[in-house]
Structure formats: C-alpha cells, structure tokens
Amino acid sequence: MVPEFGQFALILAFCLSLILATLPTIGAARGNLLWMNFARPLSAGIFVFLALCMVILGYAFVTDDFSVQFVAAHSNTLLPLQYKITAIWGGHEGSFLFWTFMLSFWMLMVSIFSRSMPIDFVARVLGVLGFLAAGYILFMIATSNPFDRVVPLAPQDGSDLNSALQDFAFIIHPPTLYMGYVGFSVVFAFAIAALLSGRLDAAWARWSRPWANIAWVWLTGGLALGSWWAYYELGWGGWWAWDPVENPPLITWLLGTALMHSLAVTEKRGVFKSWTVLLAILAFAGSLLGTFITRSGLLTSVHAFASDPTRGVFILGFIGLTVGGSLVLYALRAPLIRNESTFAAVSREVLLLVNNILLVVAAASVLLGTLFPMVYQAITDDLISIGPPYFNAIIVPLAVVLAVALGIGPVCRWKSTSLGYLCSQLTRVAIASLVLGVLVPLLVTLEFSLSVSIGMVLAFWLFLTIGRDVVNRVLSKPDRWQALRTLPASYLGMQLAHFGLAVMIVGVCLTANFSMEKSVLLAAGQSIDLGNYDFQFNGTRPITGPNYIGDEATIVVNHNGKFMRELHPEKRIYVASNSPSTEMAIDAGLFRDLFVTLGEGRNGGAAWSMTLYIKPFIRWVWMGAILMGIGGITAALDKRYRKLRARDQRLREAGESLSPKPQTV
C-alpha cells in the first residue's frame, strides 16, 4: 500500500507543477499580484511531495519490498543499509526521481533567498522551474515510474545493486553531480525570466551570479568525485576517459565556467548581455543533453542506464520544447538588448571574451567528438569510434592558450589597459616562469621533455601572475595588513579558483608524463621492482563480506630497500549477482600514488596476476578541483551581494522599483 502513496504524491507534485508553470507566469504578464504570490507556496508544496516520494521509495528499499520493480532490480536482502538507501539513485527510475527532487530543492531555495527581488521576476523564475518539474514528473509517470509493481508475483529476493556501485563514492558522487546539473536550471530560469520581462540589466546579472557560482561549485565537485571514483574503482589507473557519458557534464562545466565569467562582465560593465543569456541557455541544454544521452541508449557507455527508445523520444521532445523554445525567445528578444558601455582592444573585457571563446570552442569540440560517431552512423550507416587522441589533440592546445590568457586577465583593468602597463607588470613574471618551468623538471629528472616543460611553464606562469596581482593590490595600500584583510571575497575566490587550475595543470601534466605501470604474475614470496619501489607478494587469504566473498592479497612495499607499508588489494565475487569486482589497494601521497589491482589466481591460487602503478602528482588533479570549488563558494559569499540585496529590499519597501517598469509579454 505504501508505494501507492508514493505514486499519489508524485501525481500531486505534478498537478502543483502544472499550476506553478502557468498561474504565476500569467500573473506576472498581467500584473496580477495575487497570482504571482502563488509561486512560493506552490514551490514549497512541490518540494514537500517529492520529498515524500523519496522517503517512500527509501522505505521500500529499507523494508526489502521486492514487489516494487525498481527495488527488486536494484537491491537485495544482503545489501548493506547505506547502499539500500542510496540504491534510490542506482538505476534509471529512482535517479530520475532524485533528480526532480533536487530541482524542487533548488526551487525551494530560490523561493526562500529571493526576498530582495521583485515579485514578478520571482514568479517568472519559479514558473520556468515549475515547467521543468512538470516535464520531468510527467516523464516519470509516463515511462519510468519508480513505484511500478511486479505483478502478479513478487520475487523472493532482489537481484542486487551493481557491484561497481557498492562504494562510498556512489553515496556522494551522484547527488553532488545532480546538484550541479540541476543548479544550472536555476540560472537558465533567471535568464528566461529576464528575457520574458525584457529586463536584462546589471541587477539581473547580480542576482544570477551567486546561483551560477553555487551550481558551478557542485558540478565541479561532482566531476572531481566521479573522476576520483573512476580512478580507484575501475582500476585502470586513469582519471578521465573521455567516455560519452563523462563528456556532457564536462560540456556543461565548460559552458558554466564561461557563463560565470561572462556574468561578471555583464554585471560590472553592462556588456556581453545577449551572449550571457545565450550561455545560460546552452549550459542548461548541456545538462539536459547529459540526461538524454545517459537514459536513451543513444551512445553506449559504462554509465548507460537500461535504455528504451520511448524514453529517448520523450526526453528529446522535452529538450526540443525547452531549449528550442528558449532559443527562439532569445532570437526574438536579443536584438533589443543594448550594451551599456564600450571597451578598448586591450582590456579585461577582451581577455574575458577570449576566455569565453576558448571555453565555448572546447565545449563544442567535446560535443562534436561525443556525437560525431552517431551523426556519422546516421549518414553513412557505418560505425566509427572517436577516442582520447581526438579529445587530447583539441583540448590540450585550447587549455594552453586559456592558461596564458588567464595569467594576463586579472592584471588587466576594465575598459582599457595600456600595453606598456601590462609589459611592466608581466615581462619579468613571464621570463621567470619560462626559466623555472624548463629548469625545475630538467634538474629533477635530468631529461628534457617538451610536454612537461610546457605544462610546468604554464603552472609557474599562473602561480607567479596570481602572486604578482595579490602583491600589487596589497603593496599599493598604505596599511598592508589592512589591505590584505579587506581584499573582497569575490576577488579572493577568483584567485583561489585560478590557483586551483594551476595546481590541476601540474597534476595532469606530471601524471600523464611520468606514470609507470607493470602487469606481472607473482607466486607467494616473489617480488618485483618498479621505480624506486619493490613490491613483494605474500600470498592471499579468503575474506567474507556482508554480500560478497573474495580473496585479499598482502603486498609488502619497500622503498629504496626499506619497509614502507603493506597493501591489500581484493578480488570479490558479489553473491547475489555472481559478478566479480576488483578492489584496488592505494597508497595515496601528495607527490605520488602507489596502486595495485589484483587479477586472477593461477595454479589453484599459487600465483596471482596483478598490475602495479606509480602515479606521480595524481592527487593534484583533485586538489586543484577542490581549490576551484572553495574559490567558487568564497566568491558566492561576497558581502557585496548581501549589501546590495539589502539595498534592493529597502528600495522596494520604499515603493520604488529598482529597474524600469517591466514589459509585459
């Protein structure tokens, strides 16, 4: 009976979304205050009912209710409790419910933290989000209902959660990624509301910026977690595979990054307005594309959910309606947008334009590489595959140019900067980074490698230009300590995120160039050398987990002849699904990871095949991402937003409107 309540709550949430999509938006167009005021309570209602759906589905998992199809397919009586609960997002139906629940959570946040915005704007934003929610819920009810029952006979036991998903990262990676993905719907809704009201001004950009920042932080975190998970769970020692399902979040991330920078220009200088709106639409389209690719079976990949063409048609129709509709709206409204100022050929605006162009080109190239096999098959009926060489050949040069521009951008001034000033600031920094970037790896490794040198020169360039800019800001003030403490949070956040990129460049460059690996067959007692390390295999012992059995190996690692530590990689068989799984053993370090995967036992377990890896600086890739995330949060918390919000509110309470009278649609 309980799952039927879930079904009922889902239908109620759908009805509320339909009202939210129409009533407040019409109210905003007609100036009907009562109708507009429905937006906030409706959003809260949708959140409550979807939360109820989540609780009910979670309850079905915890109580092993295998009469629910989704539970039967993704759980098992032996599954540990934390995975029973998180199995909600372990399959298509449940993860879609979770996705929609996230959207309603963002809606609730918007309705709470929008007190300073005019009510007609809030009504339109929530109206757009309500429309999206209605579409998602309809999709669930029509094609992928998580509350569907198995009739007439329920199975005795479930078929278990995919063993690769039974891992700590599975508990946090999907929620983080979804928060980011769905967060860009909010920025999209702001853009559409602005287009509808014809009010594309600095205030709109200022309202959007913290939301864009927070969504971006979640997406950055989600991507980093996914990459870390792939690294230690899938056991191939890499951190990014250009998998067709990894690419859409990256496309969204690249567009989202471009959007954050473009929003800054729109807010500060009143230019790039129509471009910013377009980016907001595209970033949202990227997030929908990810959903479409994962859930329609369009591209085959390790991430693909069980696919069904009717689902694909539905999602594609929905994308067509939302993205197509908003692009038409954009085409009609964009010509009316006027830029408020001009800028010279050398100025921060131009550098940010370069940033935008590079990021958009990168996003478009990844999109092309991801979809090209499909387009090619549609035209020629032939199959091709596009792999890492294509993506690396395009993304690496773009990243190089981007890093060079990034060093110049923050030093530049708005509106116009003289070349002489730039040279005086940057010449010595450029020389220093060239010298350090070439010499440091040369002295450490005693050999020259062009790709390492380029990577390190860029990293030093970023470290030094960031340092130079911070020092400039502090030294120019009489009281240096005071100056350091009063640097605005948005400035600190920016520099922290840029610093994170430099750290990531170091990690990517060094791990790509200096990784070592070796596949060996070792009998107990044998050992093997790799780099400065000696790995001695001391045999295996059987282990039993809650829902698996397996073997655990003991490997003693000696560094330069001295005992360092033991590693224990495992080979598991998950009993319910009879699927094998390998658990790596990793010795993580700031400067290098040691990494062992256990293969197959030979001769009745006397000898085992295994692969050993040394991955230098791999942690820097994720450390960089963490720094970027912290930078994004810092920037979103800038006091400026709160001060201006308070001002907006005072103005509105005084009965004035901050911006010109809204146009009606």
Cα 312 to chain centroid, rounded: 23
Binding another protein by CB under 8 A: which of 39, 42, 132, 323? 323
| Binding range to another protein, per CB under 8 A, among 66-74, 277-285, 430-438, 657-665 | 277-285
At closest approach, how far in Å is the CB of 225 from another protein?
21
Map residues 209-228 to x or -, x wherever contact with another protein holds by CB under 8 A. --------------------
3 state SS of 168: helix
Under rule CB under 8 A, residue 375 binds another protein: yes
CA distance 179 to 303: 18
Binding residues among 415-454 for another protein as defined by CB under 8 A: none
At closest approach, how far in Å is the CB of 278 from another protein?
6
φ, ψ at 344 (rounded to 5°):
-90, 175
Binding another protein by CB under 8 A: which of 565, 602, 643, 650? 602
Binding another protein by CB under 8 A: which of 71, 119, 360, 371? 371
Binding another protein by CB under 8 A: which of 152, 382, 542, 544? 382
Under rule CB under 8 A, residue 235 binds another protein: yes
3 state SS of 595: strand
DSSP state of 163: G
| Binding range to another protein, per CB under 8 A, among 34-42, 146-154, 307-315, 349-357 | 307-315
At closest approach, how far in Å is the CB of 609 from another protein?
5
Q: In this complex, which beta carbon is closest to another protein, that of residue 168 or of residue 236?
A: 236
Q: In this complex, which beta carbon is closest to another protein, that of residue 167 or of residue 401?
A: 167
CA distance 209 to 205: 6
At closest approach, how far in Å is the CB of 535 from another protein?
14
| Binding range to another protein, per CB under 8 A, among 36-44, 321-329, 346-354, 486-494 | 321-329
Under rule CB under 8 A, residue 600 binds another protein: yes
Binding another protein by CB under 8 A: which of 296, 356, 365, 547? 296
Residues whose CB is less than 8 angstroms from the CB of residue 388 and which lie 6 or more positions away in sequence, other chains included: 241, 242
Binding another protein by CB under 8 A: which of 18, 521, 556, 564? 521
| Binding range to another protein, per CB under 8 A, among 89-97, 172-180, 215-223, 232-240 | 232-240
Under rule CB under 8 A, residue 383 binds another protein: yes
H/E element holding 624?
A: helix 618-636
Label residue 423 exposed, middle or buried (CB < 10 Å: 0-12, 13-18, 19+). exposed
At closest approach, how far in Å is the CB of 133 from another protein?
22
Binding another protein by CB under 8 A: which of 335, 420, 478, 655? 335
Under rule CB under 8 A, residue 377 binds another protein: yes
Under rule CB under 8 A, residue 605 binds another protein: no
Binding another protein by CB under 8 A: which of 153, 381, 590, 660? 381
Under rule CB under 8 A, residue 255 binds another protein: no
Tokens at 234, concatenated? 């899938």
Rg (CA), the chain: 27
At closest approach, how far in Å is the CB of 402 from another protein?
23
- Partners of 615 in beta bridges: 593
Q: In this complex, which beta carbon is closest to another protein, that of residue 154 or of residue 521?
A: 521
| Residues near another protein (CB under 8 A), total | 52
Binding another protein by CB under 8 A: which of 80, 155, 387, 397? 387
Under rule CB under 8 A, residue 603 binds another protein: no
Binding another protein by CB under 8 A: which of 60, 182, 193, 299? 299
Under rule CB under 8 A, residue 312 binds another protein: yes
Cα 629 to chain centroid, rounded: 10
3-state helix, strand, coil in the chain (%, to 5): 65, 10, 25
Count CB-CB contacts under 10 A for residue 6.
24
- Asked whether 255 and 284 are in contact (CB, 8 A), the reply is no
- Angle subtended by helix axes 119-143 and 92-112, to nearest 10: 170
Tokens at 336, concatenated? 């009316």
- Angle subtended by helix axes 39-62 and 92-112, to nearest 10: 150
CA distance 286 to 367: 9
Q: In this complex, which beta carbon is closest to another protein, that of residue 14 or of residue 228?
A: 228
At closest approach, how far in Å is the CB of 369 from another protein?
14
Count CB-CB contacts under 10 A for residue 288.
23
CA distance 579 to 364: 38
φ, ψ at 144 (rounded to 5°):
-145, 70
- Partners of 344 in beta bridges: none
- Asked whether 165 and 146 are in contact (CB, 8 A), the reply is no
Binding another protein by CB under 8 A: which of 162, 449, 554, 609? 609
Under rule CB under 8 A, residue 327 binds another protein: yes
Binding another protein by CB under 8 A: which of 320, 397, 589, 605? 320
Under rule CB under 8 A, residue 518 binds another protein: yes
At closest approach, how far in Å is the CB of 450 from another protein?
21
At closest approach, how far in Å is the CB of 50 from another protein?
28
At closest approach, how far in Å is the CB of 223 from another protein?
22
Q: What does the buried/exposed string (b/e) look like for 363-375 if buried means 16 or more CB atoms within 10 Å of the residue's CB?
A: bebbbebbbebee
Label residue 660 exposed, middle or buried (CB < 10 Å: 0-12, 13-18, 19+). exposed
- Would you call the peptide bond into 244 cis, given omega within 30 degrees of 0 as the criterion? no
Under rule CB under 8 A, residue 582 binds another protein: yes
CA distance 280 to 272: 12
Q: In this complex, which beta carbon is closest to another protein, that of residue 336 or of residue 444?
A: 336
Binding another protein by CB under 8 A: which of 28, 285, 438, 505? 285
CA distance 425 to 459: 18
At closest approach, how far in Å is the CB of 169 from another protein?
17
Binding another protein by CB under 8 A: which of 11, 306, 384, 435? 384
Lay out the sheet containing 516-523: strands in order across: 516-523, 607-616, 592-602, 585-587
CA distance 64 to 155: 11
Q: Rounded to a whole number, what is the distance in angstroms from the first to the last CA of the chain?
A: 46
At closest approach, how far in Å is the CB of 486 from another protein?
42
At closest approach, how far in Å is the CB of 430 from another protein?
37
Cα distances from 272 to residues 333, 408, 610, in angstroms, run: 14, 20, 55
| Binding range to another protein, per CB under 8 A, among 33-41, 194-202, 372-380, 433-441 | 372-380
Among 78, 18, 26, 83, smallest CA distance to 46 is for 18
CA distance 243 to 597: 22
Binding another protein by CB under 8 A: which of 112, 142, 328, 431? 328
Under rule CB under 8 A, residue 259 binds another protein: no
Residues near another protein, by CB under 8 A: 234-236, 274, 278, 281-282, 285, 292, 296-300, 309, 312-313, 316, 319-320, 323-324, 327-328, 330-332, 334-336, 371, 374-375, 377-378, 381-385, 387, 518-521, 580, 582, 597, 599-600, 602, 609
